[in-house]
Structure 1
Amino acid sequence: MTIFLLVNVKEVLRLKSKLGLASVLFIGASLLLKISGLIRDMVIAYYFGDSYVADAYLAAFIIPNMFILFMTTGMKNAFVPSYIESLEKQRGNYHLAQVFKGTIVISFIVSIIGMALAPLYIPLLYPEFNVDATQIAVWVTIIFFATIVFVGMNAVLEALFDAENKFSLSMVSQILVILSSIVAAILFANQIGAYSLAIGYLAGTIISLLFKLILVMPRKKLKLKRKFDWLEIKQFYWVFIPVGLTVAVGQINLMVGSIFASYFEEGAVTYINYAKNLVHMPQGIFGVTIGTIVFPLLSKAIATDNHKLFKRGIEKGLTLMFLILLPSIIGMLLLMPNIIELLYQRGAFTADAVQATTQVAYLYFGSVLFFSLNNIINKGFYSLKKGHLILVISGLSILLNIVLSFIFTAWIGYRGIPLAASVMAMCYVGAQFVVFYKLIGGLKLKALAVEFIKIIVATAIMSGAIYPILLLINGWYNIIQIVVVALAGAIVYIASAYLLKSEALLFMVDKFLKKKSVTKESTLDE
């Protein structure tokens, strides 16, 4: 009996060690992905500035990217729990093969329709574009829709990696796509303009698919010779489609913003896109990381019918998200002019463009915070296979975004677009939390509120400490200001949260110390 318990303890420690390593690798890969995406935006800004060419490219990318996110993020949210459940029934490989083949068919159809109809819907969506901008937008859209069939296959394999806790592999494959776009732009932007980015993206999706197949095929997990099981495929897509549509809501709302921006002066679409991408970096790095790592654990809790563990996982995810995101967002808010000037002011991107992008960025911060927290709530819905419950709320959020955009753009021009996004995000996340809270029979709201207040106080102390520092070193090089303020802010924030006895911070410290202790014990045993 004692031996059995010791074996179980070692297995648990080994599992935690693997998950910890996977988490570290995923955070590193996420950081590299966001940096590569940032470099891509810098390349676009360098070559095309805030011209109609940049507007056309960025506006065109939004529509196919809606389907790309529908396939990639939606596939992960739907496939991870279904694959884990299939593994419990000893039919994981069969389920993988059927989903993969069904996705090829569906993504091919989407690709053909998107390419064929591009000359019709681009002029309808962006009637204020000039003739040259419309032509660029149409052809860029066609090229991007050609990638969808490869994106679909990539999405299934990335979801497989996530289900196996190999989070970093899916990130690496996405980095390959972005790097391909960057290289193509550097080599061919002067010859074929914005088309170079789209062609580079297409080449990158093919390279990424080959990379994944090289990893998966030798393991004989993907047996494509099996016949189509349309019932299996239909059952999966019955869950996947509402989940994918919910994921696509964010991109639809971004498209709404770009459509409104296209009615203003040249460059407005560019300011909106660059500001959104930059401000949402903390969400992309930390928000998605925490959500992705928590997701398999939540799915496992549901598969083993452990509802208490499921609720604690949601609560821990929310507090960890708030602990990391709030100071990151406030820090970026204080440093935003320095960051945008450092990253974008070169080549065709002028000081005026920097100022306009900064003004837009300030108003996007609300959407980052709320959507980051919503990442955990969504994972809860998807783990329960209840993604369809939030589909109606998602649809209403689009209508709300349109109404708010009308109101706010009439008031402050294109700057009303990010303000509308932030207000909409608050309403959207609030509604989803109420539905989720009732669905799972409640959470420890008092404990969550106390923890959130501690984090807010610690962030306020941090802000009060670094603002005078920022004034004192004003005039130094941007990069030095950013590094000094970031380091000082991190030290003050961690110390403040620790003194306030933040449960989320103490949890992270405890886990870190335990990992060090386990590592030392393992070394001594050897």
Structure 2
Amino acid sequence: MVIAYYFGDTYQADAYLAAFIIPNMLFLFLTTGMKNAFIPSYLAAKETGTSTILFNQIWKVTGTISLGLGIIGMFTAPLIIPNIYPDFQPAAMTIAVQVTMIFMGCVSFVGLNAVFEAYFDAESQYTVSAISQLFVLLTMISSAMLFANQIGPYALAFGYLAGVIISLLFKLIIMHKQHILQWTAKIQRQEVKAFFIVFFPVAITVMVGQVNLAVDNIFASYFEEGVVTYVNYAKNLVHFPQAIFAVTIGTITFPLIAKSYAKGNIKQLKGRLEQGLMVMCYVLLPAITGMMLLMPTIIQLLFERGAFTRAATLATTQVAYYYLGSVIFFSLTVIINNGIYTLKKGHVVMWIGLGSILFNLLCNSIFTKWLGYVGIPFASSIVGFVYAISCYVFLIRQVGFLFKLKEIIEIVKIILSLIVMIIAIRFIANIQAYMTNGMFLMITIFLGVLIYVLCSYILKIKSFYFLWNTLRKKDNKQMLEEQP
């Protein structure tokens, strides 16, 4: 929203969004990759009483590696960016190169933040990570409001740098109070080596999504000015439910899956995987369905102001529709891949992910010639489907078939609830002309959620009761651990 307001669909927005791609590969490599590798290893070490030692080994080595990556990235950005986006005009190229260098300067702070957030998540202290991420968001918004008119997109990059530093200081204060940090402990090479053998395949897998986004941006840069912006805004908006619901559900269930495996209870592990997938479907499907029905109004409300025109709204809406398939498939793989990582088979996901990059290149080459720039999101949805199926097939070969008759019945109930919700939303749409977009969305979302929940109650959907009990239970962690 901030980028759209200040820079619309101009070359400045294109350059900033393109510049963020490569640094964000490293950010995801360090953050999500660290969580997926660290949490199972930390919980396993906790069973033997060596978790504190492991944690202190990892944050020191990760800090050193991320510092090196940041320095290399800053010096190589002027060489890499012009080769990735050769069609950028000179002004856009200058912004893209310099913003990339600023973001590369953030890598060392992001690396340490990643280890500390993984530790807090492993200890079920989820609010620490949430608050620290809020610091980054607030500093970026504040910096844009104060300096965007003077220094353009650089304001957002400097705001991000300030945010990750503040976030790191916030975590250090908490960890100092918990007496968890051991500054002088020596590095045990064998222990660190064993961890990073698990970490690197997982982290590379996490980068795959960002590499595929880079592929999308490269193909988008071949079209007219603004297409890079449409692709990025549409993808970020459509994948918002994944960022909120899929990541949250995955974060909560991952430690439980890992604990089941650490105890050797495969039956319980399968139960947690099935439960995670069903909850994901229950929450995600209505969110995506509602977004699909309300997409033009949502984009108009969020972005159509300042430099962002009506034509840009229509173009972004068109792209967003084609991204809907990708959010479904990639959200489900959050749970599927958590199971694979728990089995310490992350290298398999890595190879599937690397294969998806080649497949994405092929799909983009075909569909952009056929459909124009909307072929970019359509290719992402096709790639997401193939990626999800591949990961699921591998997982069930390891633990056995997951979805049985009772899960199929639950999905049918969810679909019936969705149908009723869709009918209600279509009926409410008749009064849209008599109110503002904001008011219409609030009323529609409220009534849509209410109707979906009532249908869930009437049809006795188990995921609904699970979430209801989670909200009512005072000790949510204990309640979750009691689930099969």
TM range (shorter): over 0.9
The answer on 1:314 being equivalent to 2:270 is no
* Separation (CA, whole Å) in 2 of partners of 1:89 and 1:71: 26
* Superposed CA offset, 1:404-424 (max 9, x none): 111111122111111111111
- In the aligned structure 1, how far is the partner of 2:53 from the partner of 2:415? 48
Alignment-derived partner of residue 409 in structure 1: 368
Task: Give the AA of the match of 1:243.
Answer: V
Matches within 5 A, 1:23-62: 42-62=1-21
- Alpha-carbon deviation of 1:187? 1.2
C-alpha offsets along residues 379-429 of structure 1, whole Å, 9 cap, x if unaligned? 111222221121111111111111111111112211111111111101110
Establish whether residue 102 from structure 1 lines up as the match of residue 102 from structure 2.
Answer: no
Whole-Å Cα distance in 2 between the matches of residues 290 and 239 of structure 1? 23
Q: Give the match for residue 35 of structure 1.
A: none
Distance 1:380 1:121 in 2: 36
Hey, what does 2:482 align to over in structure 1? none
1:226 paired to 2:185: yes
Map of 1:378-397 to 2, 5 A cutoff? 378-397=337-356
Which 5+ residue runs of structure 1 have no aligned equivalent? Answer: 1-41, 520-526
Shift of 1:515: 5.6
Structure 2 residue ranges without an equivalent (≥5): 479-484
Displacement after TM superposition at 1:489 (Å): 1.2
1:273-312 aligned within 5 A:
273-312=232-271
Selected match of 2:323 from 348, 364, 375: 364
Q: Does 1:432 align with 2:391?
A: yes
Distance 1:220-1:511 versus aligned 2 partners, 3 A rule: closer
What is the distance in 2 between the residues matched to 1:512 and 1:349? 39
Corresponding position: 1:116 with 2:75: yes
Say if 1:76 and 1:342 are closer, same or farther in 2 by CA, change over 3 A.
Answer: same
1:263 is matched with which residue?
222
Provide Cα deviations, 1:434-474, integer angstroms capped at 9, x if missing partner: 00011112224333222222212211221022102112333
| CA-to-aligned-CA distance 1:37-77 (integer Å, 9 cap, x gap) | xxxxx111111110001000000001100110110011011
* Residue from 151, 154, 157 that aligns with 1:198: 157
- Greater shift after overlay, 377-386 or 502-511? 502-511
Which of residues 275, 293, 303 in structure 2 aligns to 1:344? 303
- Provide TM-score, normalisation by structure 2: 0.96
The aligned residue for residue 404 of structure 2 is 445
Change (3 A) 1:323 1:226: same
Which residue in the other structure is 1:144 paired with?
Answer: 103
Aligned residues: 477
Aligned counterparts of 1:394 and 1:204: Cα–Cα separation in 2 = 30
* CA separation of 1:126 and 1:84: change in aligned 2, threshold 3 A: same
Q: Which amino acid aligns with 2:285?
A: L
Deviation at 1:355, TM superposition (A): 0.9
- 1:44-83 equivalence runs, <5 A: 44-83=3-42
Cα separation, 1, equivalents of 2:21 and 2:167 = 21
Secondary structure (helix, strand or coil) at the match of 2:433 reads: coil
TM, length-normalised to structure 1: 0.88
Q: CA offsets, 1:255-313, max 9 Å, x none?
A: 11011101101010111111111111111111111110001111111111111111100
Q: For 1:232 and 1:466, how far apart are their aligned partners in 2?
A: 55
Quote the offset at 1:508 in angstroms. 3.1
CA distance in 1 between counterparts of 2:357 and 2:203 reads 15
Identity of aligned residues (%): 52
Q: Output one character per residue of 1:183-237: Cα deviation in whole Å (capped at 9) or x when no partner.
A: 1111111111111111111111111111100000222211020112222211111
Q: Partners of 2:355 and 2:392 in 1: how far apart?
A: 15
Measure the CA separation in 1 of the matches of 2:474 and 2:62. 40
- Match of residue 160, structure 1, among 108, 113, 119: 119
Q: What is the identity, as a one-letter code, of the residue corresponding to 2:27? A: I
In structure 1, distance between residues paired with 2:233 and 2:197 = 35
Structure 2 distance, partners of 1:228, 1:115, is 28
Q: What is the CA–CA distance in structure 1 between the aligned matches of 2:369 and 2:95, rounded to whole Å?
A: 29
Note the alpha carbon deviations across 1:128-162, whole angstroms, 9 max, x for none: 10011111101111110111011100100000000
- Residue 431 (structure 2) pairs with residue 472 (structure 1): yes
Counterparts of residues 220-259 of structure 1 (less than 5 Å): 220-259=179-218
Is residue 336 of structure 2 the alignment partner of residue 377 of structure 1?
yes
* Paired amino acid for 1:372: S
Structure 1 residue 325: deviation in Å?
A: 0.5
Partner residue, 2:414 = 455
Cα RMSD after superposing both structures:
1.6
